[in-house]
Structure 1
């Protein structure tokens, strides 16, 4: 039996967080979603002592205060977090954004699908992919 995939999503858009929650609700037996509206609160959560870390982090790119790239940079600079897989999920298909994300060692870059049914399919593929990956055991 596969373990429950733990996904931490950071997105400043309340509507996008709601849509993601609905899409992930289609996978109650295989994925658990934790959401944060900004990078600073997500990093604070990730750095909480004795907390189980997520299996994968999903970052929006363009957020006020601390961009997804800045969050990614902070994760990669933190010895306790640097190994965590990080996926960028953004509306931006800009080549410069994509290049910069990979320069900061993002594990993948996905462009958000504009229609909800396509977005749900995108999340279905995301969950299936990460469920099939061998992930490190959860930390405590």
Structure 2
């Protein structure tokens, strides 16, 4: 017949040693232990054979109250660059105005009776189209660099 083993005389597991080491780490972080004392106790934790020895290493420390972790910060809001969509709208407007001017020029040339009229619609379409094209090139370069 074997004698009953007291809980403090039972062998300690590595998981129990890890828990005690975490308690010591919290006590050091809270200022209850200085660095030298923390180091000595951690070495003693891993040398401890029984649960009673582990309890003795934390008996003089204040009980650690678990504080809930603060909620994680919200993910950063990514603002979608508006440049390309605004340029698409401007390009659509430019194409519409240029097509309208071309249609008027074509009607005047065909129905005017004088033959083909000077292509005046190009004086409207080309300068604004060139400026719009340069802007598209600059925005494309900025997007490729960023």
Q: Is the structural similarity TM-score above 0.5?
A: no
Which structure would you say has the larger Rg? 2
Report which of the two has the higher share of helix: 2
Report which of the two has the higher share of strand: 1
For the aligned pair, the TM-score class normalised by the smaller chain equals under 0.3
TM-score under structure 2 normalisation?
A: 0.20
TM-score under structure 1 normalisation?
A: 0.20
